[in-house]
Homo-oligomer: A and B are copies of this chain.
C-alpha cells in the first residue's frame, strides 16, 4: 500500500503521515526500491488510532503515550485513565474560558443598538476597562525595577 492509499484508508493526510514519521510518533515505513513508502494493515490500524485520538483533541505528545500504552500488552489501565481524565480536565478548562468570553460578549452585544447610531457599549467597554493583571490569559508580565506608571 502506498502512502496515498494508507491516507485514504486511515483518514490521515499523506503530509501528516510523513510528519508523524519524522517526529518518530510512528516508526519509519519500509521503502520500495524506488523509495516509495509501503504500508500494511497494521500501519493503517495505527494511523486510524492516531486519527481518532487527534479527533478527541489529544496532542501529538499525548498520542505518543497512548500509542506506547496501546502496544504494551501489560500496561495498566490506570495510566490510560489518568491521561484521559487529565485531558478531560483540560478540555473543561478551555470550555469554561470560552464560556466566560461568550458571556461577556453576549452581555455587551445585548446593550448595543446595532443600528446606524454610533453609540456602542461594546467599543466603549473595550476602551474603558482597566486591565486586571490577575486575570491575564497566558500573560507573564515581567516585573520592572523602577515600577511606576508615568
Cβ-defined partner of A94 (8 Å) among B88, B98, B144: B98
Contact of A13 with B by CB under 8 A: yes
Cβ-defined partner of A77 (8 Å) among B76, B77, B113: B113
Residues B80 and A123 in contact, CB atoms below 8 Å apart: yes
How many copies are assembled?
Answer: 2
Residues B114 and A77 in contact, CB atoms below 8 Å apart: yes
Q: How many residues of A contact B (CB 8 A)?
A: 77
Residues A147 and B49 in contact, CB atoms below 8 Å apart: no
Cβ-defined partner of A108 (8 Å) among B84, B91, B147: B84
Inside 8 A of A114's CB, which chain B residues have their CB?
A: 77-78, 81-82
A24 to B43, CA, bound (A): 47
21 A-B pairs with CB atoms under 8 Å apart are A5-B149, A11-B131, A48-B131, A55-B101, A55-B131, A56-B101, A70-B126, A70-B127, A77-B116, A77-B122, A80-B120, A81-B113, A81-B114, A81-B120, A81-B122, A84-B108, A85-B109, A88-B102, A88-B109, A95-B102, A98-B98
Since A56-B101, A77-B116, A81-B114 are in contact, a sample of 18 more A-B pairs with Cβ atoms closer than 8 Å, ordered by chain A residue number, is A4-B144, A5-B144, A5-B150, A8-B141, A11-B133, A11-B136, A52-B125, A54-B137, A57-B101, A73-B118, A76-B118, A77-B122, A78-B113, A81-B112, A84-B105, A92-B102, A94-B98, A98-B98
